[in-house]
Structure 1
Amino acid sequence: MNFLPTDDQLAFRDTAVRFAREKLAGTYLQRARIHTLDRQLVREMGALGLIGPDLPEEFGGMGLDYTTAGLMTEAIAYGDFNISYIQLLASLMGGMVAQHAGRDISMEWIPRVIAGEKIIGLGLTEPRGGSDAAGLQLKAEKTANGWRLNGEKTSMSAADQADAAVIFARTEDSTTGSNGVSAFFVDLTEKGISRTHFDDIGTKPVGRGSVFFDDVVIPSECLMATEGRAFGTIMAGFDFSRALIGLECIAPAQASVDETWAYIQEREAFGAPLAQYQGVTFPLAEAETQLTMMRQLCYYTLNLRDSGNSHTAEAAMCKWYVPKTTCEIIHQCLILHGHYGYTTDLPFHQRYNDVLGLQIGDGTAQIQKLVIAREKVGRVALQYDKQAKGGAA
């Protein structure tokens, strides 16, 4: 397979690179301390075509390939990890809405997402669930003209900033696991919805929080996909976002390495530049090797998706390995800058804290390894485990 970008892909990437270097990088630390996204900056991204390039043309997108979306995500994240969330959420959630929501909803919302005017979040995680994504308690009950929602979603990205969300809820009381789970497109300004904001150590502008539904009534057309069978159908989109997450994490690590290469050529110790010492250059050489391999994995995964091939295992590899390794790389760059690297004047601490959150969110390393194992040996290991515990296979 050929992973070299085409001229068209490079042109789109170059636009994102210029925006990231000229508009984002110099003020990343300032924005990182604020608990809200700069919506004017988001609209500027939209005007440049930097949001949801893969979304269908009929809804205002450019209909480009998934690899181009990855190139643009990585380029933006080089300048500001948090702002790159806008592109990632747009591609993930916009794709879900375009494929599974009603046409009227798609026509109303997707063009506004692409323009940077609206943000669509994902309401999946619940307080008692965590990694048990299908163990939902939030209920959706049928009414005469639609559905009534009651319950809580937590650890939701942009919880208090998203304008709408895809909300997963249980619609069948007699079932457990993913059976009986439906998805709904919900305008988060509906009556009966309240929200909170968490004070996390990283990704403050994006933010996480909880969303509470207290007898929230939504029309029947808000149902997405097939009633009671939405979980597996819609969750397949995560094979895309996990590759994007990998590239989102690679970018700040690459920026950290680039800055450290420059620093060790300028800084002197014992009468010579730090770059003359193998103890300094070898960790950076290792980091460059790891970044190159991880980048290839992410684009290989997107290439598989573009060509219509299965990429579930590869996406899970991106999700567990890349956030972990890029945190280690950023940490090493901080150390190589000495005590100056430990100050808040430099961006290493912020990049580390921002990337660290993705070792937890969107599926932990343990969950991703389960996914990889199941792709390789089927569900035999899970069945054996249930039998050993006295459960049904």
Structure 2
Amino acid sequence: MRRTIFDTEDLIALRDVARRFATERVAPGYRARETTKSFGADLVREMGALGLIAPELPEAYGGAGASVLCSGVIVEEIARADFNVAYVPMLASLTGQVLAKHAPPALAQEWLPRLTAGEIVLSIALTEPRGGSDAANLGLRMERDGDHFVLNGEKTSISAADQAAACVVFARTGRPEDRARGISAVLVPMDAPGVSTTRFTDMGEHAVGRGSIFFDDVRVPVENLIGEENRGFVQVMQGFDFSRALIGLQCLGVARQSLDETWAHVRERTAFGKPLAAFQGVSHQLAALDTQVEAARLLAMNALWLKDQDLPHTAEAAMSKWWPPLLAFETIHCCLLMHGHAGYSDALPFEQRLRDVLGLQIGDGTANIMKTIVARERAGRTAVG
């Protein structure tokens, strides 16, 4: 196992647990979950029982009060076995942090222990048909009516929309011209009257699923407000730095697995009387990608380490969101080609991995948005716009 500057004995022990679970319980069902289009409720509960879901949350909420590096290690190891199942701990860390930091304590206590136990999945509902990258351009309305909020509108491209027990929903409570300063966040149970969902037919990530959520006079108690009214967007979006670094490791986990399998293949497969690895056109391509994957992994781990130290990490997190998804796609593509005609078939997992990882070049922030964030951090928002 490769060691890094971030590895401690506790982190290595956690990695062993996560890798064993990933190898024995997650990997065998990767192809099957493409058909069932579900994480698998029993598998998620097993993950929770092992403490592999949001261990950075306080013990009061079912976590272990661990470092966020622990969550990075878990996401990376699960992704080696199944890119899609790795979405469960990544999403739980994002939504868990949002509730733990900004929700009323009673609301957090109601939902978070069930999340960390793997009994439920919570999702994030931000994107709308009118805007994806322009995240503050929201049309879904949330109006106060006594001791309830009433929601009307649509969210789209929402991951795990039909598997989530509840969603953190961003809605406009102020004027449209207020942009981000007029948006609030609220936790909406998906079984609330007036909530309905659809599922898209996508190229990949079938086990995660993506779709629209429709809100038709959906009533939610005011106690479900997350953060301050009209400031939920500004407050909650700060947690996305964490998830961006985790997404980087999710993509790199499947890239690393593909590289390890391909190094073994080119060592054993022969052509013209020599192992494929003896041809520099083969080995140098893999060596270059291996170098970049290791560098990108250190970048993402550093972003998490900075968060653990309560230091600024917005730029590093954005870098971890735009580069690793692209690099993972390029790596898996190369590994597929290295396996020749077999790699192009569904007898090997590369074609599914390629389709799965492509989605994160779009979802949760495109590369150009991430680069704009980096530029703002380096040159200043006034200069960049």
Shift of 1:314: 0.6
1:272, CA displacement in angstroms? 1.5
For residue 259 of structure 2, what is the aligned residue in structure 1?
257
Conserved? CA contact 2:34–2:206, under 8 Å: yes
| Residue 116 (str. 1) matches residue 118 (str. 2) | yes
Q: Tell me the distance in 1 between the aligned counterparts of 2:350 and 2:67.
A: 32
The residue correspondences of 1:282-301 to structure 2 (distance < 5 A) are: 282-301=284-303
1:37 maps to which of 29, 36, 39: 39
The alignment partner of 1:33 has SS state of helix
Please point out which of 369, 372, 381 is paired with 1:370.
Answer: 372
In structure 1, stretches of 5+ residues that fail to align are 384-393
Q: Who is 1:149 aligned against?
A: 151
Q: Deviation of residue 26 (structure 1)?
A: 2.7
Write the distance in 2 (CA, Å) between the matches of 1:30 and 1:144. Answer: 47
- The TM-score normalised by the length of structure 2 is 0.97
In 2, Cα distance between the equivalents of 1:173 and 1:243? 33
TM-score between both structures, scaled by the size of structure 1: 0.95
Q: Which amino acid aligns with 2:55?
A: P
Paired position in structure 2 for 1:386 = none
Distance 2:350 2:290 in 1: 17
RMSD: 1.1
The match for 1:186 is 188
**Secondary structure at 1:44 match in 2:** helix
Aligned to 1:231: 233
Letter in 2 for 1:42: V
Quote the Cα distance in structure 2 between the aligned partners of 1:77 and 1:91.
15
Partner of 1:207: 209
Matches within 5 A, 1:260-339: 260-339=262-341
Q: Which residue number corresponds to residue 91 of structure 2?
A: 89
Q: Report the Cα distance in structure 2 between the residues aligned to 1:307 and 1:277, rounded to whole angstroms.
A: 45
Q: Distance in 1 between matches of 2:358 and 2:35?
A: 16
Are the aligned partners of 1:32 and 1:82 in contact in 2 as well (CA < 8 Å)?
Answer: no
Match for 1:286: what amino acid? Answer: A
Q: Which amino acid aligns with 1:269?
A: A
- Measured in 1, the distance between the counterparts of 2:178 and 2:133 equals 15
Q: Which amino acid aligns with 1:204?
A: H
Secondary structure at the residue paired with 2:179? coil
The 8 Å contact of residues 135 and 176 in structure 1, kept in 2 or not, is answered as no
Partners of 2:23 and 2:81 within 8 A in 1: yes
**Distance (whole Å) between structure 2 residues aligned to residue 264 and residue 52 of structure 1:** 37
Q: What is the aligned partner in structure 1 of residue 54 from structure 2?
A: 52
Question: Cα distance, 1:382 vs. partner?
Answer: 4.4
Q: State yes or no: 1:103 paired with 2:105.
A: yes
Question: Where does residue 19 of structure 1 map in the other structure?
Answer: 21
How many angstroms does 1:174 deviate by? 5.4
SS in 2 for 1:176: helix
Q: Deviations over 1:88-133 (max 9, x none)?
A: 0111101101111111111111011111111110010000111110
State the 1:299 CA deviation.
Answer: 0.6
Distance in 1 (CA, whole Å) between partners of 2:286 and 2:21 is 27
Aligned partner of 1:389 in structure 2 is none
Task: Give the match for residue 73 of structure 1.
Answer: 75
The answer on whether the counterparts of 2:205 and 2:356 sit within 8 Å (CA) in structure 1 is yes
The runs of 4+ residues in structure 1 deviating greater than 6 Å are none
User: Counterpart of 1:331 in 2: which secondary structure?
Assistant: helix
Q: Which amino acid aligns with 2:158?
A: M
Shift in CA distance, 174/92, structure 1 to aligned 2, threshold 3 Å: closer
Match of 2:349 among 321, 333, 347: 347
Asked if structure 2 preserves the Cα contact closer than 8 Å seen for 1:140 and 1:149, the reply is yes
Q: CA deviation at 1:31?
A: 1.5
Work out the CA distance in 2 between the residues paired with 1:255 and 1:246.
14
Paired residues in the alignment total 382
Give the conservation status (yes or no) of the 8 Å contact 1:183–1:230: yes
Could you report, residue by residue, the CA deviation over 1:318-371 in whole angstroms, capped at 9, with x for unpaired residues?
001110011001000000111110000100011111110000000000100110
Alpha-carbon distance between aligned partners in 2 of 1:377 and 1:271, rounded to the nearest angstrom = 55
Superposition deviation, residue 380 in structure 1: 2.0
Q: Which runs of 5+ in 2 are unaligned?
A: none
Structure 2 Cα separation of the partners of residues 39 and 3 of structure 1: 36
1:137 to 122, 136, 139: 139
CA contact (8 A) 2:6 2:301 kept: no
Residue type matched to 1:178 in 2? A
Percent identity of paired positions between Structure 1 and Structure 2: 52
What's the CA shift for 1:199? 1.1
Counterpart residue type for residue 16 of structure 1: A
- Farther off after superposition, 236-245 or 7-16: 7-16
Cα distance, 1:173 vs structure 2? 2.5
Maintained 8 Å contact 2:86/2:250:
yes
Q: Structure 1 residues 173, 80: closer, same or farther in 2, change over 3 A?
A: same
Are the aligned partners of 1:54 and 1:64 in contact in 2 as well (CA < 8 Å)? yes
